[in-house]
C-alpha cells in the first residue's frame, strides 16, 4: 500500500483544542482589518503557549541554565511527525503515580512520539507523572512527548528546577506538546502523528494542529 492509498484509508483524530478569542484563560485576541482591494487580514495578540502547543528548550532550559537553546526554527520539519504510541492512563486508580514500569508496558521505543493522557480523575485524585518515568522517557530518546490536561505532568511545579519532566526532556532537545484533547477517541495504540508549529526564529512555543492518523502503521 502506497502513502496515498494509506492516507485515504486512515482514520483521522484531531487532538487539538479549539481556541476562542477573548474566552481563553490565556490572552488571545484577533483584530480584523482590510488591505488592498478590501480583503481581510488579522492582527493576532496572544501568548506563544495557547491551546494545543509545542514547547522547545528556549522556553525552559535557557532561563534555567542561562545558555542559548534551540528555538522553533532550529527543528526540521520531520521533527514534528512520525510513529506515535499512546500511553493510556484510563486503567490507573485514583492518585496512582505514572511509573517507568507502567510506561514501559506500552512498548515505548527509541524515536517514538509518546502521547500520554486520558486519566479519569481530577483534583486531589489526579494521577501524576513521576520524575523517574520522565527520566526513563528522556533516556530512551523519544522524539516528542505529548500530554493532555487530565493528569499532573510534574511532581512539583516550583522552583523551576523542580519541574523535572521539562528538565529531562528539554535538556535532550525533546519538545513537549501540551493541552492535547480527544485522547479518549483514539482506538489504536500506535498511529502516525503530525503536529507542526510555524518556524519562527527566536520563539519558544507555538500552537499546533495535532493529528493522529490511525490505520497507516
CA pair distance 193, 214, nearest whole angstrom: 9
Q: Do residue 28 and residue 73 come from a single domain?
A: no
pLDDT score recorded for residue 1: 59
Ranges of residues in the chain with a pLDDT under 70 are 1
pLDDT score recorded for residue 4: 77
Q: Do residue 125 and residue 101 come from a single domain?
A: yes
What pTM does this model have?
0.94
pLDDT score recorded for residue 6: 76
CA pair distance 158, 169, nearest whole angstrom: 17
Q: Tell me phi and psi for residue 134, to 5 degrees.
A: -60, -40
Place of cell 535538556: 171
pLDDT score recorded for residue 31: 97
Q: Do residue 39 and residue 100 come from a single domain?
A: no
β-strand pairing of 97-98 with 205-207: unpaired
Q: Do residue 81 and residue 40 come from a single domain?
A: no
Q: Which helix (H) or strand (E) holds 133?
A: helix 131-139
Q: Do residue 115 and residue 207 come from a single domain?
A: yes
Q: Do residue 37 and residue 56 come from a single domain?
A: no
Host domain of residue 66: 3-17+52-214
Rg (C-alpha) for the chain, rounded Å, is: 18
pLDDT score recorded for residue 2: 72
Q: Do residue 98 and residue 30 come from a single domain?
A: no
Q: Report the domain count for the chain.
A: 2
Q: Do residue 32 and residue 109 come from a single domain?
A: no
CATH of the domain at 182: 3.50.30.50
Q: Do residue 40 and residue 129 come from a single domain?
A: no
pLDDT score recorded for residue 202: 96
Q: Do residue 32 and residue 76 come from a single domain?
A: no
Q: Do residue 32 and residue 114 come from a single domain?
A: no
Q: Do residue 63 and residue 117 come from a single domain?
A: yes
pLDDT score recorded for residue 130: 97
Amino acid at each position: 500500500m502506497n502513502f496515498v492509498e494509506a492516507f485515504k484509508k486512515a482514520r483521522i483524530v484531531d487532538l487539538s483544542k479549539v481556541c476562542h478569542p477573548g474566552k481563553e484563560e490565556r490572552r488571545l485576541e484577533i483584530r480584523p482589518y482590510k488591505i488592498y482591494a478590501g480583503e481581510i487580514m488579522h492582527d493576532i495578540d496572544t501568548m506563544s503557549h495557547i491551546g494545543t502547543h509545542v514547547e522547545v528548550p528556549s522556553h525552559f532550559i535557557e532561563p534555567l541554565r542561562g545558555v542559548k537553546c534551540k528555538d522553533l526554527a532550529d527543528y526540521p520539519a520531520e521533527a514534528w511527525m512520525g510513529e506515535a504510541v499512546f500511553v493510556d492512563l484510563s486503567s490507573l486508580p485514583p492518585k496512582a503515580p505514572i511509573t517507568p514500569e507502567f510506561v514501559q508496558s506500552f512498548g515505548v521505543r527509541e524515536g517514538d512520539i509518546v502521547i500520554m493522557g486520558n486519566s479519569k480523575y481530577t483534583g486531589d485524585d489526579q494521577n501524576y507523572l513521576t520524575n523517574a518515568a520522565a527520566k526513563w522517557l528522556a533516556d530512551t530518546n523519544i522524539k516528542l512527548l505529548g500530554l493532555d490536561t487530565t493528569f499532573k505532568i510534574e511532581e512539583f511545579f516550583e522552583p523551576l528546577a523542580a519541574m523535572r519532566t521539562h528538565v529531562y526532556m528539554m535538556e535532550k532537545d525533546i519538545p513537549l506538546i501540551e493541552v492535547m484533547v480527544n485522547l479518549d477517541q483514539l482506538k489504536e495504540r500506535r498511529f502516525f502523528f503530525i503536529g507542526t508549529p510555524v518556524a519562527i526564529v527566536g520563539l519558544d512555543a507555538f500552537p499546533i494542529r495535532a493529528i493522529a492518523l490511525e490505520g497507516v502503521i
